[in-house]
Structure 1
């Protein structure tokens, strides 16, 4: 089953979850603020999708991101350092983070969701 890391108070998470349900895609919801993904999982995902860059995984519009001045730190940050931070503060993760096997998306874009979550479904 598709794992959906979202935040109930986030309108983007709510829109993405609603879109998936409207397209008959079942997800297992986990609140990424109350229970962020494990560091090991984040390292694996960021490593497998490192072609997207670390910025792809960060909630660059979030208050915590700005407060910690991560924009300046990002160019020199390692995957391990990023995963450590995100595993302790889920608000740093771009939401929703949706994962199923080797497929992963951050944020919500209908075209990306169609291509990723609707194509070649079993």
Structure 2
């Protein structure tokens, strides 16, 4: 199971702490150091929709010029943005065997998803 995110993100820290406390084995993939591929983003987009992957509530999105924000109207545009500015990807995203198990942190969802 792989957790995708950014180490200094509070939501990622909360999720990692929760997973550790519940003895869930994970690998961590830091977007800042390892980046992300267009193929991976497309696969996730097929499962959860590109709109769900773009964190429009985060600082990175809010700092974008309004003109840039308005151009994000398709999967292709969203993937291009997410590859360029990985911190705009909603996090954490947890994947196992190519399947998205969780996006963001929701303790109730984690309790159901990660029974272990």
Compute the TM-score of the two structures, normalised by the length of structure 2: 0.83
Q: How does 1:12-91 map to 2 (within 5 A)?
A: 12-50=11-49, 54-68=50-64, 69=66, 72-74=70-72, 77-91=73-87
- Deviation for aligned residue 1:55: 3.0
- Secondary structure of the 2:60 match is helix
Structure 1's unaligned 5+ residue stretches are: none
Q: Distance in 2 between matches of 1:95 and 1:73?
A: 22
Deviates more, 1:55-64 or 1:25-34: 55-64
Aligned-pair Cα RMSD in Å: 1.9
Aligned residues: 113
Query: What's the counterpart of residue 107 of structure 1?
Result: 104
Query: What's the counterpart of residue 93 of structure 2?
Result: 97
CA contact (8 A) 2:55 2:90 kept: yes
Q: Show CA shifts across 1:6-30 (max 9, x none).
A: 2121111111001011111111111
Q: Show CA shifts across 1:54-103 (max 9, x none).
A: 332122222221122365444xx222221221122111111111111323
Structure 2's unaligned 5+ residue stretches are: none
Q: Distance in 2 between matches of 1:40 and 1:47?
A: 11
CA contact (8 A) 1:64 1:92 kept: yes
